[in-house]
Amino acid sequence: MDFKDQIKQLGDRVTKLKEQILSEEATKNAFIMPFLQILGYDVFNPLEVVPEYITDVGTKKGEKIDYAIMKDGNTTLLIECKHWSQNLDLHDGQLLRYFHVSKARFGILTNGIIYRFYSDLVESNKMDDKPFLEINITDLKDNQIEEIKKFHKSYFDADNIVNSASELKYSNELKLLFQQEINNPSPEFVKFFTKQVYQGVVTSRVLE
């Protein structure tokens, strides 16, 4: 079974089982650990996947993040997990704090359904406010699967991911902005297109 089939099979599994998953720990065991295994990591090998990874944050000692992915003894990816029903918008600050004191270039915030991938594209060693990639594992697009595959142990190349992450970040933001303008057009947006097709004076009535 290839990577695409495996990841889609996991999406189907999540859809079927989520109502039976009652805790964050169960979410990790049923959804997130299988995701890491599909990425080629041995979740039972502490040289590859470190659960409850300790990250000292300022005066707080012994702060822990759910998983750290290691390569050649270095932290490459931090993963913060929540219960599948939780809104991730309420939790991105926690991952940001951990990211700041780590040498990892990437962070994932997930509830086992939504996966948000972060990096430090704007300012070095400071996690960006917005993810460069967000996926719903129960509704995956082919291009998203290709982006996830870059995090597979066999293909992982931090520089390559950073380069594509930069393109993804801004293209996704442009798509979102355009969608917002289509749904609720700003006066500037309307005026720009009006001028392309209307030869007279662009009054408020014309814009309306």
Model pLDDT for residues 90-120, shown as the tens digit of each residue: 766 767 777 777 788 899 999 999 999 999 8
Identity of residue 65? I
**Per-residue pLDDT, 160:** 87
Which residue range forms the structural domain that includes residue 43? 3-207
Report the pLDDT averaged over residues 20-41: 95
- CATH number of the domain residue 113 falls in: 3.90.1570.30
Long-range contacts of 3-7, Cβ-Cβ distance < 8 Å, separation of 24 or more: 3/38, 3/145, 3/149, 3/152, 4/142, 4/145, 6/38, 7/35, 7/38, 7/137, 7/140, 7/145, 7/148
66-80 confidence digits (pLDDT tens)? 899 998 888 899 999
Decide: 196 and 206 in contact? Cβ < 8 Å.
Answer: no
Report which DSSP code applies to 111. Answer: S
In order, the DSSP letters of 21-49 are --SHHHHIIIIIHHHHHHTT--TT-TTTE
**Per-residue pLDDT, 57:** 55
Decide: 127 and 117 in contact? Cβ < 8 Å.
Answer: no
Secondary structure tally for the chain: helices H, strands E:
8, 6
Domain count, the chain: 1
Residue in 108, 90, 103 with CA at minimum distance from that of residue 151: 108
Separation CA 101–CA 111 (nearest Å): 23
Burial of residue 26 (CB within 10 Å: 0-12, 13-18, 19+) is: middle
137-158 confidence digits (pLDDT tens)? 999 999 999 999 999 999 898 8
